[in-house]
Homo-oligomer: A and B are copies of this chain.
Amino acid sequence: MSGTNLIESCETCTKAWKNFRTLTKSELQYVNENRYEAIFKSGEILIKQGSPASNALFLASGMAKIYIEGINRKNFIMSIARPGRLIMGPGAYVNSRHTYSVAAITDIQACFISFEVFRHLVRVNGAFAEAMLEDISVKSLRTHMRMVNLAQKKMPGRLADVLLYFANDVFSSDEYEMILSRQELGEMANMAKESVVRILKEFEEAGVIYSDASKIKILAKDKLMLIAAKG
């Protein structure tokens, strides 16, 4: 982490969190004065589960996986982080521990902002507090749906969910680079990597997708959505 900032200021940053719009000029300046930039190489860990949590994180560029280190060294990937999204686990308001790990999938330029800044702003700015609640609520809602989907769907449905997540939420395109390995796809859809391979092949044979080791192209989104919906 170097002391030099590449990003000029939060005010001009195009990747700034949209909820910073609720802040006054001086509040935003307060944020800007208390941020710390860092760059990471692909594979490096930005946040380690269990470690003391004192900072929220934003990506200015690049992508990361947010994952929980579970039982028997098995990881569970919760989501893919991109610029514009607040990365602050529930530990911030519970036990000041990171509840998940974050690792770079690509090279990353990141901003760290102390929890104290957020806590202060929540106390003095009602609109910001409301925005924080909205942000957490959206994430919470997704987690609920995710839990039920994982619990009730069979493998094809779970994998279809993941492929659609990448298309709709990560890349906004039905054709994308598969930045995760088969192993990692399994950690997201909760299945063995071998099962990922087999089900991707099934989808391909059914004409629903094209896939090679590094690319996914959704050919019949309606069918894929049906598979996801039926479970």
Q: A129 — which chain B residues lie within 8 A by C-beta? A: 122-123, 126, 129-130, 132-133
Q: A122-B130, A123-B127, A133-B133 are in contact. Are A138 and B68 (CB under 8 A)?
A: no
Query: A32-40, A148-156, A173-181: which one contacts chain B?
Result: A148-156
Whether B70 pairs with A148 at a CB distance below 8 angstroms is: yes
Instruction: Check if A146 is an interface residue, CB within 8 A of chain B.
Output: yes
Given A70-B152, A130-B123, A147-B143, residue A136 in contact with residue B138 (CB < 8 A): no
Within 8 A of B (CB), among A181-218: 190
Q: A interface, how many residues as a size bin?
A: 35 or more
Asked if A14 is at the interface (CB within 8 A of a chain B CB), the reply is no
Q: What residues of B have a CB within 8 angstroms of the CB of A133 in the complex?
A: 93, 122, 129, 132-133, 136
Which chain B positions have C-beta within 8 A of A153? 71
Which residues of B have CB within 8 Å of A140?
A: 90, 136, 139-140, 143
| Contact for A68 among B91, B127, B148, CB less than 8 A | B148
| Closest-CB distance, A46 to chain B (whole angstroms) | 18
Of the listed stretches A2-10, A23-31, A72-80, chain B binds: A72-80
A126 touches B124 (CB 8 A): yes
> In this assembly, does A137 line the interface, its C-beta being within 8 Å of a C-beta of chain B?
yes
- 8 Å CB contact of A146 from B91, B122, B147: B147
A138 x B231 contact (CB < 8 A): no
B-contacting residues, A45-96, CB 8 Å: 68, 70-72, 74, 76, 78, 89-94
Look across to chain B and name the residue whose beta carbon is closest to the beta carbon of A91.
B141
| Nearest CB of chain B from residue A86's CB, rounded to whole Å | 13
User: A41 at interface (Cβ–Cβ under 8 A)?
Assistant: no
A150 engages B150 (CB within 8 Å): yes
Using CB atoms and an 8 Å cutoff, list the residues of chain A in contact with chain B: 68, 70-72, 74, 76, 78, 89-94, 99-100, 119, 122-124, 126-127, 129-130, 132-134, 136-141, 143-144, 146-148, 150-153, 190, 230-231
4 extra interface residue pairs, beta carbon distance < 8 Å, beyond A94-B134, A147-B147: A93-B134, A93-B137, A143-B147, A146-B147
